[in-house]
Amino acid sequence: MNHAPALSVRQGLVYVSTAAVAWGTGGAAGALLHGAGQLSPVAVSFWRFACGAALLLAVARSRPSWRAVLLVGPAMAVCQAAYFAAIAEAGVAVATMITMGATPLLVAAGGRVFLGEPLGRTGLGCAALAV
């Protein structure tokens, strides 16, 4: 199994901060685009993921990375389309709170089912807090 090289704390902090900014502004940007530009949730998701996929494919250095982008990308696009549809129907606050609670649960379940990762006491506690 190929593992990514270890990151420095600084690199990890930059990556996590960038992801947090992208995640934190996604709902508000989706609501703004829907309200001002009358873009549908599917259109917002398409353009967001088209740009993201182009960036990921540009930085992917190995063939397995390309396959991961091509396999995971469509699933994430469906997730985001559902999220932006929820924003259009229920508002950004409700959609974001449900997403924030459901995401850790789905990641933990997916890790257990698909990767065989143990959940453990800490994972169960975090799942309880997410609920």
Domain ranges across the chain: 8-90, 91-131
Neighbours of 29 (CB within 10 A): 15
pLDDT of residue 63: 64
- Show Cβ contacts of residue 107 under 8 Å, excluding neighbours closer than 6 positions: none
pLDDT of residue 88: 81
Quote the strand ranges of 4-128, DSSP E.
none
In order along its 131 residues, the chain shows pLDDT tens digits of: 455 567 788 888 888 888 888 777 877 777 777 777 777 777 777 777 777 778 777 776 666 667 777 777 777 778 777 887 888 889 888 988 888 888 888 888 888 888 888 888 988 888 888 77
Q: Are 44 and 34 in contact (CB under 8 A)?
A: yes
pLDDT of residue 111: 85
